[in-house]
Amino acid sequence: MEVATYLYQEEQWDRPFETTLDSQNTLILIFASLEEKKVREELSNIVKLFPLSIIAGASTSGEILDDEVYDDTIVVSIAKFQSTILKNHICKSIGNEASYEDGIDIAKELFHDNLKSIFVLSDGLKTNGSQLTKGIASVVHADVVVSGGLAGDKDRFEKTWIIENGVLQEGIVSAVGFYSDNIHFEVASKGGWDSLGLQRLVTKSKDNVLYELDGKPALEIYKRYLGDKAKELPASGLLFPLELKEKEGEESKVRTVLAVDEENQSITFAGDIPQDSHVTFMKANFDRLVNGAEESAQMLNLSKYQNESLLCIAISCVGRKLVLKSRIDEEIEAVKEVLPQNANLVGFYSYGEISPLASGICSLHNQTMTLTAIWESDA
């Protein structure tokens, strides 16, 4: 496996592309918050230079490369695999109502012998991420690593897009399957938020729309917690996510706000908020967020890693970026310090992160630092 990374900044690339990496077993990932027109121009050039490669990517709320965070740039990683077969699949015209079926479609299309992992990138505003992952998990075994994220749009929540096979599109899910006996995937995810207030019962919800908490309008209660920041919704909701527990004893998840409905006094989240589950409002803790990123890197099981070329994809939530502000590089630096010295670190800030739970079943997370480490051992 050979890996190269590139940065487009101030209308130029940091170095020429290594076109010898082009092959049917090459995956190119492109993450960008630059204006769409410019991304399309540069994408067109990349497609011409790498006609054989699978090219995927997403709009972002910030790009990650090495130990730094960028805005209004394009970050590219190129991974040429030696003995791993790649296959990509796309779901078009997606929506919240069809996300479960989209997940099933992806899994059925990619689930063949020797499938080791599926990497998913989805539109960040038109997908119910928890239903998408549930659909995938209903088909594939828990030993198939499923990770990825939802595209971002800075803190605007207006439009996100996905790059699928070299084409920039809205409203789609792109997935890549990896098939090999020699490829290794290790995934970890960690948050770092503090609980705020009492645990509340979800008394009315439908899928990812929350209507009532403890029998009262959800938006009314939520605004009470936000105080002056309520007028900045939905963006300010990124600073106050929900901790969700569906059942006692189960692993908790974090949910982030995507939209609010004043008329219905409801809140739409990136993933499901099941009725009769329990939620607790959360708030930021600077040091715990940075420590959470570091713990995520420490959780990666690299016991089988023997100094091969390694690609680590970091997908962190835009809410963390808004909280950490000028300190945002600290969480990336914390990850980089734990990774092997020659690891290639790329990624983006998202509207949702896809990563396995402790059980191995893939799920949607919000407000976490999710890491996917990939390397090939000798054939």
Give the integer Cα–Cα distance in Å for 333 and 263: 43
What's the pLDDT score for residue 364?
86
178 with 275, same domain: the answer is: no
pLDDT single digits (tens) 210-252: 999 999 999 999 999 889 989 998 888 888 889 998 877 677 8
What's the pLDDT score for residue 194?
84
What's the pLDDT score for residue 42?
97
7 with 132, same domain: the answer is: yes
What's the pLDDT score for residue 128?
86
Residue with tokens 């410019």: 38
Q: Which residues pair with 354 in a beta bridge?
A: 148, 364
Final residue of a structural domain among 229, 258, 283: 283
What's the pLDDT score for residue 238?
80
Q: How many CA atoms lie within 13 A of 262 on its CB side?
A: 4
What's the pLDDT score for residue 24?
96
Give the integer Cα–Cα distance in Å for 63 and 347: 6
What's the pLDDT score for residue 197?
77
User: Domain range holding 86?
Assistant: 2-190+287-376
45 with 143, same domain: the answer is: yes
What's the pLDDT score for residue 297?
96
82 with 210, same domain: the answer is: no
Query: How many domains does the chain fold into?
Result: 2
Give the integer Cα–Cα distance in Å for 56 and 151: 12
What's the pLDDT score for residue 95?
67
98 with 33, same domain: the answer is: yes
85 with 181, same domain: the answer is: yes
99 with 122, same domain: the answer is: yes
Residue with tokens 């409801």: 266
The residue ranges of the chain whose pLDDT is under 70 are 93-96, 249, 379
What's the pLDDT score for residue 311?
98
Give the integer Cα–Cα distance in Å for 79 and 66: 15
